[in-house]
Structure 1
Amino acid sequence: MLDHLTPLISSPWLYLVVLVAVAVDGFLPIVPSETLVIGLGALSATGRPDLAALAVAAAAGGMAGDRVSYLLGRKAGRRAARGKLAPARAKAEHALLKYGGAAILLGRFLPYGRTATTITSGSVSLPRDRFRLFSALASAAWAAYAIGLGRLGGATFAHSPLLGAAFGIAIGMTLASIFTLVDKRRRPIRPIATRPAPLETPVRELVAAGHR
């Protein structure tokens, strides 16, 4: 992907590409936005792309994608109780009930956690103001994390920005694997599809009442 973006390194269009990629990754988690931002963070050690503009684009894309995911959750969130996202969604609902909006911040760094927590926030009617606040915090933290990994790689391999990008991406993949292993070792939570349907209303009321 970085090879395709190399001609855009000095172009302002690059930041639009980053914003869109990070946004789409919020509700369609097949776009490698983390790899993209880490790689560009490593390349920024050469002076291009601009570090501040990259951070703004990544954070803005994070918030935009979260909003779309939240709205999808409001309209059809219960459908996520089936399929590959079912276990992640069940854990996200449990975390939202236990930790409130802070679960959005924590979920940003877990596999499928971003999509699961934002969709679930919509489906259980987490207050929008609280959702926007924690989405902004999570997006800023994630942007700093991804760019920081890239800069670490760029500093380690200053003679080769592409090698630095690969190193930063490798660190990110390693941390993601560790998060996955830790998550699997945790006590499993019953998929939400197995719960009685009447619980849906109390869940929404509990989340809304606890965060007004």
Structure 2
Amino acid sequence: MDLGNADSWGAAIYFWIIPTVLGDAIFPPVPSEMLVITGGALSAEGRANAVVVVILAAAASWLGDMLVFQLFKRRLSHVIDRWKWGRAFHAAVHRAIARAGRSSTYAAIIGVRFIPGGRLATTAAAGIANVSTRGFSLCAALGGTLWAAWSVSLGYFTGSATRLPFWASSLIGVGAGLVIGAVVGVIVTRRRGSRPPAADPDEELDF
């Protein structure tokens, strides 16, 4: 598969969206945003359907959020500590909460996902805080849909405006998303008054 050739992607973009966005719920470095933005860039070239990309990305986002939420709501997070990947995931939760904050409000569940690491932090925090499953589910669905639509729009509009190859439009869209996310993160941090202290990787994982 020639990754630089739009024809090579075809329906493959639909196949990769669900596992990638699901994986991002547990491991934030998974490049789900880049893939969804690429879907938008491909749709600008007529190689993908933007609506289908949004639906798949939103559905996968909701499924991933519900998985992590239930894991922490039911206090099952210690079970995965038996494996190295589970301990790494648990430590990543600490780091994400330290970076994005431990807010479990409905507004945070919807909006903080636009900050790098914010999705994992708010989802875990909501489970720990025993937020209503129905309320969380609705907010996760709304937040996931907004995030998917935003990401696809970034790719679509950069592709339409620049007329560059889809991969170049994707990189521009990702860059714009990171800048906007960083600005939102700074605003949120300042509104909270101070930045949360960094997580100690050797600290006992007590949730």
TM interval, shorter chain, is: 0.7 to 0.9
Find the partner of 2:96 among 82, 85, 89. 85
The change in CA–CA distance for 1:4 and 1:59 in structure 2 (over 3 A counts) is farther
1:130 and 2:135 correspond: yes
- Whether the 8 Å CA contact 1:80–1:86 is kept in 2: the answer is no
Structure 2, unaligned stretches of length 5 or more? 79-89, 200-207
| Structure with greater proportional helix content | 1
Q: Which residue of 1 aligns with 2:168?
A: 163
* Alpha-carbon offset, residue 181 of structure 1: 3.1
- Whether the 8 Å CA contact 1:20–1:61 is kept in 2: the answer is yes
Partners in 2 of 1:112 and 1:82 — Cα distance? 9
Partners in 1 of 2:177 and 2:195 — Cα distance? 27
The change in CA–CA distance for 1:48 and 1:19 in structure 2 (over 3 A counts) is same
The change in CA–CA distance for 1:103 and 1:185 in structure 2 (over 3 A counts) is closer
* Alpha-carbon offset, residue 43 of structure 1: 1.7
Q: Which residue of 1 aligns with 2:145?
A: 140
TM-score (norm 2): 0.77
* Length, aligned pairs only: 187
- Whether the 8 Å CA contact 2:42–2:166 is kept in 1: the answer is yes
TM-score (norm 1): 0.76
Find the partner of 2:179 among 174, 178, 199. 174
- Whether the 8 Å CA contact 2:155–2:170 is kept in 1: the answer is yes
Aligned ranges 1:94-133 → 2 under 5 Å:
95-96=103-104, 100-133=105-138
1:188 and 2:194 correspond: yes
* Alpha-carbon offset, residue 64 of structure 1: 0.9
1:37 and 2:43 correspond: no
Q: What amino acid is the match of 1:101?
A: Y
Moved more, 119-128 or 68-77: 68-77
Partners in 2 of 1:3 and 1:183 — Cα distance? 37
Residue by residue, what CA displacement relative to the aligned partner does 1:178-200 show, whole Å, maximum 9, x if unpaired?
23333444412766x9xxxxxxx
Q: Once superposed, what is the RMSD of the aligned Cα atoms? A: 3.0
Partners in 2 of 1:166 and 1:119 — Cα distance? 29
- Whether the 8 Å CA contact 1:38–1:165 is kept in 2: the answer is yes
Partners in 1 of 2:32 and 2:140 — Cα distance? 17
Partners in 2 of 1:47 and 1:82 — Cα distance? 38
* Alpha-carbon offset, residue 80 of structure 1: 6.3
Partners in 1 of 2:164 and 2:117 — Cα distance? 34
* Alpha-carbon offset, residue 77 of structure 1: 6.0
% identical aligned pairs = 29
Partners in 2 of 1:162 and 1:17 — Cα distance? 16
